[in-house]
Structure 1
Amino acid sequence: MSTTSHPAPAAHAPQAPSLGRATLLVAEREITSQVRSKSFLISTAVLLLAILAGIVISAVVGQREPGETPVAVVSSVAGSVDGAPGLDVRDVADRAAAEEAVRSGEVDAAVVPGGEPLGVAVLALDDAPEAVVQALTAAPEVELLDPAPAEGGLRYLITFAFGLVFMTSVIGAGSMIAQNTVTEKQSRIVEILLSAVPARALLAGKILGNSVLALGQTAAIAAVAVLGLVVTGQDDVLTLIGMPMVWFVVFFAIGFVLLAAIFAASASLVSRVEDTGTVLQPAIWLTMVPYFLVVFFNDNELVLRIMSFVPFTAPVGMPVRLFLNEAAWWEPLVALVVLVAATLAVIAVAARIYERSVLRMGGRVAVREALARSADD
């Protein structure tokens, strides 16, 4: 009796994940490792508490009793402010003299003859003088000679906040991307990772995972800021920054990807954590420049306009211009298109550098060398 032997079925090798699936796996790894890190949780909590404390302190300071407000009063309506507390009254002859006193900065406001039914009006330069208005028996008509979207102190505070949040978030997350990249190279873990996923998927996953974390942190900051302003009764400030804050989150999301790609590509050029300082300096400076520009040039319309269209500074420059009502409706759309195009170009270059440097051990790899090594690929 003969028997027929059948060959055993061939074992199927596990199929490598697709580029998209591999990217998501790496991103998930980045997110879970970060959220389990005490340093990340503590730094985020401290940042949110600092923002909330700043809002509360500004509200308390704003509610303090002000000193006497210098105010010019035309003699014919001097009776309307007689005995009013908190005012340093200075008599002037007529409306022209009162307006000159306001424009020169000698007084904060002026009370002049006005139309019916009150018979008086208040002149001010760029903001309605609350102390003068409240001192009058009835709310008068307020005429602004040079209206502004925000007071000087509030203008500086909001522009400073946009720049600071962008700088701290990007440098914090970008440094983490760089540290993880170099640590994986130094410990040779990257060789194991690249045996399972392509280099582009590893880079994309790092950027995607940390972008999700940074965007979530920024959204949390925005939520805490809104909550703090509502609780402290600063609804007028919330009205001013509402739409600019939404645009800031949008620009931040794309601008972070651009800079994160630079951080990752820069870190792939070295094999030791000790060497990261030098290669990361350009990325850190690109992140710090928007902050310093809005701090020192927040009242310079030309500088802010240029900032709003340069990809590295647009995430701060454009929201600041929107807050100051200095941007037309189409400008953020154009700036966003420019930023997206620049981000795609930077990602393409960063991926090329990362692929050709991440497995090279030893000394620092020159950027020109990483981009030129096409014969071996």
Structure 2
Amino acid sequence: LTEGAAGKFDITGAPDVATAEQLVKDGDVEAAVVPSDSNATGFELIFATEADPALVSQMSVQPQVTILDPDSDGSAGFLLYIVSLGFGLVFFVSATTFGASIAQSVVEEKQTRVVEILMSAIPVKALLAGKVLGNSILAFGQILAIAALSVIGLTVTGQSELLAGLGTPVVWFVVFFILGFILLAALFAAAGSLVSRQEDIGSTTTPITMLIMIPYFAVILFNDNPLIMTIMSYVPFSAAVGMPVRLFVGSAQWWEPILSLLILAVSAALVILVGSRIYENSLLKMGGRVKISEALKA
């Protein structure tokens, strides 16, 4: 296959797979479509040094991708590293910034006894929902602004091929981040309700921060490891980073982000139920740190 005008392909015939691979190596064609028994589609795309996400996305079904000479010049690996770093950094900074803000506001309301006045006027669950949704809207706005600026920057600098490859992963990243942050926001609110002083907030929010840091470092260290990236794309705390990276390299089937999103949605619903119970039962308890077991039993 050689991409021609108007997004159509110029097709060059080959008698066998070996000849097709040689055409790709010689640069006579951009990619070769060959039969394959190793996947459900029945064929695979062969590239010389790196896969072209734009070309892969134009196929009617997502094929298996084979690279004959992976990362021969190091550019593909560096690009994957930069993209992985970008997704991981945006997720880490946004989640920790707005998540910590939620926890601090909960502790401040407890410490100043303002929460007692608020609870006399509105239900506790409504108070929690307002706190989570308010900070979530700010986080979503930041993510959308970063996505828009990235698109503008790539367009201005003429990176049309990279922009075409990043389009779908960025959209999925925003969708995954929305559900993922709601999950984390509920955890931060519950963690904040367990203590009554700002000085103690680190003891309850540190485990949550660690859950956010793990996908950040994992995607940087293991972005070229298919097994680890596949696991990350299905774990709720890292799916927002792992799945977009897999979509960028073309290793995820069309149904995988949908399944991962369903798992994340169910996980978020369960965490919200548990987090709201902890929040409701711990909000009026002053003094030392409230144990999670006590908050759940109250």
Aligned match of 2:68 in 145, 156, 170?
Answer: 145
Give 1:268's aligned residue. 193
Distance 2:293 2:69 in 1: 54
Distance 1:157 1:252 in 2: 19
Amino acid at match of 2:154: L
Give 1:157's aligned residue. 82
Give 1:324's aligned residue. 249
Say whether 1:350 aligns with 2:275: yes
Alignment of 1:1-377 (within 5 A): 125-127=48-50, 145-146=68-69, 151-373=76-298
Amino acid at match of 1:357: S
TM-score by length of 1: 0.61
- Runs of 4+ in structure 1 displaced over 4 angstroms? none
Q: CA deviation at 1:145?
A: 3.0
In structure 2, stretches of 5+ residues that fail to align are 1-21, 30-46, 52-66
Q: CA deviation at 1:271?
A: 0.2
Per-residue CA deviation, residues 300-321 of structure 1 (Å, 9 max, x unaligned), is 0000000111111111111111
Distance 2:218 2:26 in 1: 39
Q: CA deviation at 1:146?
A: 3.6
Closer, same or farther: CA 232–350 of 1 in aligned 2, 3 Å:
same
The alignment partner of 1:126 has SS state of: coil
Per-residue CA deviation, residues 17-55 of structure 1 (Å, 9 max, x unaligned), is xxxxxxxxxxxxxxxxxxxxxxxxxxxxxxxxxxxxxxx
The alignment partner of 1:195 has SS state of: helix
The alignment partner of 1:351 has SS state of: helix
Distance 1:163 1:189 in 2: 36
Distance 1:315 1:355 in 2: 29
Name the count of aligned residue pairs. 241
Distance 2:202 2:96 in 1: 13
Amino acid at match of 2:132: I
Q: CA deviation at 1:151?
A: 1.0
Closer, same or farther: CA 147–183 of 1 in aligned 2, 3 Å:
same
Q: CA deviation at 1:324?
A: 1.0
Per-residue CA deviation, residues 169-220 of structure 1 (Å, 9 max, x unaligned), is 0000000001111000000011111111111111111111111110010000
Q: CA deviation at 1:147?
A: 6.2
Amino acid at match of 1:145: L
Closer, same or farther: CA 111–205 of 1 in aligned 2, 3 Å:
closer
The alignment partner of 1:161 has SS state of: helix
The alignment partner of 1:151 has SS state of: helix
Distance 1:204 1:326 in 2: 37
Percent identity (aligned): 55
TM-score by length of 2: 0.77
Per-residue CA deviation, residues 239-284 of structure 1 (Å, 9 max, x unaligned), is 1100000000000000000011000000100000000011101110
Amino acid at match of 2:120: S
The alignment partner of 2:121 has SS state of: coil
Per-residue CA deviation, residues 46-88 of structure 1 (Å, 9 max, x unaligned), is xxxxxxxxxxxxxxxxxxxxxxxxxxxxxxxxxxxxxxxxxxx
Give 2:3's aligned residue. none
Amino acid at match of 1:126: T
In structure 1, stretches of 5+ residues that fail to align are 1-98, 100-109, 116-123, 129-143
The alignment partner of 1:363 has SS state of: coil
Distance 1:320 1:217 in 2: 20
Amino acid at match of 2:95: V
Amino acid at match of 1:284: T
Distance 2:295 2:281 in 1: 6
